Amino acid sequence: MTAELRSAAAPHAEREAVQASRSTRRRVLPPRLVNPLLGAAGLLVFGLAGELLPALGVVRPQDLPPTSAVLSALVGMLGDATLWQAIYDTLYVWALGLTLSSAAGIALGLVIGQLPPVRRATASLIEILRPIPSVALIPLVVLLFGPRYESALVLVVYAAFWQVLVQTIYGAADVDPVVMATARSYRLSLWRRVTTVIWPSALPFVMTGIRLAATVALVLTVTAQLLIGTPGIGKAIALAESAGATDRLYALVIVTGLLGVAVNTGIRIAERHLLRWHNSTRTERGA
């Protein structure tokens, strides 16, 4: 998590990998078995580096407490209701923001993507508004809402909306013209065309947008908590920092990482489930 830590872990990583590859050549284990073992070894080395660096005096223990101290702080917090409340608050804003921005992004994106004149007219506006960092709005939401969850929600929705919108536009514009013409010649109603032709062919793009938006939404949820003090894990981190409780600080950082992993995995599973009919899923190699 820190520059020192990672640079220290890298040479280990290389050596381990070489050793492991040698040993597997002897025993001929399938990669399906070897890779998780290697991964576990990687986590172990990472944790060990975190334990040894402060112990050997490379970094000060008050800057980077040993892994054991961080893990015991983490275990201690697991029994504490405030951690679960913070996780709940974080996920609540994240999910609400993601839902709102996805709904708006998909609806607008389908319309814009399907109508070339609208697409041409809105392209420049989207290119202007999209790169505006949503954190620029922090001072405004602080004045409008203060440390309430609405502050976080505004930032999350603004940032996540563009991700979904842009991908949906690509998707809706990418519909196979032959399929579209066929649907027209069968005189499918507009609604049927949207649900049976446009939506399925845009869906892979939409899911990519939602996946990007999910990450961005989590980043901004935590940002608002950290800087504005809306309730959640970010606020707990700010409190731990001002209390000088670095073991708790690192434990909470790990919690946000695990939360991020959970969000990524959840979205990936949902994507695979929704797109199980799609070529990209069906031909995917188990890499």
* CB of 9 or CB of 87, closer to other proteins: 9
Residue 263 interacts with other proteins (CB under 8 A): yes or no: yes
Residue 257 interacts with other proteins (CB under 8 A): yes or no: yes
* CB of 79 or CB of 244, closer to other proteins: 244
C-alpha distances in Å from residue 117, one per residue of 110, 121, 236: 13, 6, 48
CB of 198 to other proteins, least distance (A): 21
Report the C-alpha dihedral over residues 213, 218, 223, 226, rounded to 10 degrees.
170
Choosing from 29, 95, 100, 238, the residue that interacts with other proteins (CB under 8 A) is: 238
Choosing from 241, 245, 274, 278, the residue that interacts with other proteins (CB under 8 A) is: 241
CB of 218 to other proteins, least distance (A): 6
* CB of 168 or CB of 221, closer to other proteins: 221
* CB of 21 or CB of 82, closer to other proteins: 21
* CB of 175 or CB of 222, closer to other proteins: 222
Q: Which of residues 104-123 bind other proteins (CB under 8 A)?
A: 120-123
Q: Which of residues 12-51 bind other proteins (CB under 8 A)?
A: 13-14, 16-18, 20-21, 31, 34-35, 38-43, 46
> Which of these ranges, 59-67, 178-186, 193-201, 270-278, lies near other proteins under the rule CB under 8 A?
59-67
> Which of these ranges, 97-105, 125-133, 167-175, 178-186, lies near other proteins under the rule CB under 8 A?
125-133
* CB of 100 or CB of 245, closer to other proteins: 245
Q: Which of 129, 204, 211, 124 is nearest to 172 (CA)?
A: 204
CB of 196 to other proteins, least distance (A): 26
Number of residues that bind other proteins (CB under 8 A): 75
100: amino acid identity, one letter = L
CB of 188 to other proteins, least distance (A): 27
* CB of 175 or CB of 183, closer to other proteins: 175
Residue 69 interacts with other proteins (CB under 8 A): yes or no: no
The three-state (H, E, C) secondary structure of the chain, written as one string: CCHHHHHHHHHHHHHHHHHHHHHHHHHCCCHHHHHHHHHHHHHHHHHHHHHHHHHCCCCCCCCCCCHHHHHHHHHHHHCCHHHHHHHHHHHHHHHHHHHHHHHHHHHHHHHHHHCHHHHHHHHHHHHHHCCCCHHHHHHHHHHHHCCCHHHHHHHHHHHHHHHHHHHHHHHHHCCCHHHHHHHHHCCCCHHHHHHHHHHHHHHHHHHHHHHHHHHHHHHHHHHHHHHCCCCCHHHHHHHHHHCCCHHHHHHHHHHHHHHHHHHHHHHHHHHHHHCCCCHHHHCCCCC
* CB of 76 or CB of 139, closer to other proteins: 139
Q: Which of residues 149-208 bind other proteins (CB under 8 A)?
A: none
Rg (CA), the chain: 24
Residue 266 interacts with other proteins (CB under 8 A): yes or no: no
